[in-house]
Amino acid sequence: MDYFLELFFSGLTRGSIYALIALGYTMVYGIIQLINFAHGEIYMIGAFVALIVSGVCTIYGLSGFAILILAAAIAAVYAAAYGFTLERVAYRPLRGSPRLSALISAIGMSIFLQNYVLLAQTPDFLPFPRLIPDLAFIEPVAHIIGTPELVILITTLITMVVLTFLIKKTRVGKAMRATQQDLSMARLVGINVDNVISLTFIIGSVMAAIGGVLVASYIGQVSFYIGFLAGIKAFTAAVLGGIGSIPGAVLGGLIIGWSESFAAGYISSDYEDVITFVLLVVILIFRPAGILGKVHKQKV
C-alpha cells in the first residue's frame, strides 16, 4: 500500500509539472492554433537561469530557501522575456502564412534555443544546489511524500488558482477568452489582439519557468536538453486533455504523470517514455479532440 501511495504521489508531482508546462501549449494553441515547439526550451531556459542565479548566490556564500524564491522570480522574468521575444521574432511575421511555415519556424526556434544554451553554457549536466530544507513535520510520511514533492504540489496549486482567477475574473482574462473564441471578431470589438497574444506567451512562459525551477530543484540537475522531452510530454498532456482547454491540460498532465509513475513502478522504467507516445498516438487516433476538448468541425 505504501508503495502504491508513493507511486501515486510521485505521479501527482510529475503530473502537476507537466500540467504547468501544458498550460502554455494549450493557451497559445487556443489563440493562434500553433504548436509552440519552442515552449519546452523556455522551460529549460527558466531552469537554467534559476541554476545560474542560485549557483552564483551559493558560490558567494548565500544559501537557503529564500535563494530559491529569488532564483524562481528571476527565472520567471527571463522566461517571460524570452517567450515574448520568441513570439515577436519567430511567429508574428508569419501570421497569415501557411501553418506549415509557422510550424517549421517553431521547430527552428526550438533547435536554435537548445543550441544557444548549449554553446553559451555547457553540454553537460550541472547539479542544482539543494535549497529546499527538509521539513520536520513531514518526517513520519517521508517514505511516501517528501518535502520537495510537497513544495511542488503546493506551488502548482497556487499557480493554477492564480491563473484561473486571472482568466476568469480580470479584464485581460476576458480579452484572452474573447480572442480564443474568435480572433477577428475580438479585433473588431476593439481588443488589441497583438497584446493579448504577447500576454498569452508571457503567462505560458512564466508557468513553464516555475515548472522548470521546481523540476530542477527536485531532480537536482539541469542541462540544455531537458526541455525537449518535457516539452513533448507536456504537449501530449495538452492534447490528451483537449488542446485549448485549461482544465484539460491539468487533467492530461495528471494522467500522464500517473501512468508514467505506475508504469515505471510496476513494469519497468526502461520504457517509461514510451508510455507517453503510445498514449499520444492512441488518443489522437480515437479521440483527437481530447478528453475535455470540443469536437470542432472545420468551417468550409
Contacts with ligand ATP, residue ranges (CB under 6 A)? 297, 299
Draw the binding track, 221-250, toward another protein (x: CB under 8 A; -: no contact).
-------x---x--xx--x-----------
Residues paired with 127 in a beta bridge: 221
Query: What would the grid cell of residue 222 be?
Result: 539541469
Query: What would the grid cell of residue 268 be?
Result: 519497468
Interface residue with another protein among 89, 158, 185, 188 (CB under 8 A) is 89
Torsion of CA 34, 37, 43, 49, to 10 degrees: -110
Interface residue with another protein among 112, 218, 258, 262 (CB under 8 A) is 112
Residues in region 273-292 near another protein by CB under 8 A: 273-274, 276-277, 280-281, 284-285, 288
Query: What would the grid cell of residue 230 be?
Result: 518535457
Question: Residue 290 region, left (φ>0) first, then alpha (ψ -120 to 50), else beta?
Answer: left
User: Minimal CB distance to ligand ATP: which residue?
Assistant: 297
Query: In this structure, what are the phi and psi dihedrals at residue 289, rounded to the nearest 5 degrees?
Result: -80, -10
Whichever of 59 and 295 has its CB closer to ligand ATP, that residue is 295
Whichever of 100 and 300 has its CB closer to ligand ATP, that residue is 300
Residue 262 found at the interface with another protein (CB under 8 A): no
Q: In which residue are the cell numbers 480572442 written?
A: 179
Residues in region 55-84 near another protein by CB under 8 A: 55-56, 58-60, 74, 78, 81-82
By CB atoms closer than 10 A (0-12, 13-18, 19+), residue 165 is: exposed
Asked if 17 contacts 156 with a C-beta cutoff of 8 angstroms, the reply is yes
Whichever of 171 and 299 has its CB closer to ligand ATP, that residue is 299
CB atoms within 10 A of CB 258: 17
Query: What would the grid cell of residue 35 be?
Result: 504548436
Whichever of 169 and 296 has its CB closer to ligand ATP, that residue is 296
53 binds, among another protein, ligand ATP, none (CB under 5 to 8 A by kind): another protein
Asked if 273 contacts 229 with a C-beta cutoff of 8 angstroms, the reply is yes
Which residues here bind another protein, judged by CB under 8 A?
A: 34-35, 45, 48-49, 51-53, 55-56, 58-60, 74, 78, 81-82, 85, 89-90, 93-94, 97-105, 107-117, 119-122, 126-129, 228, 232, 235-236, 239, 270-271, 273-274, 276-277, 280-281, 284-285, 288, 294, 297-298, 300
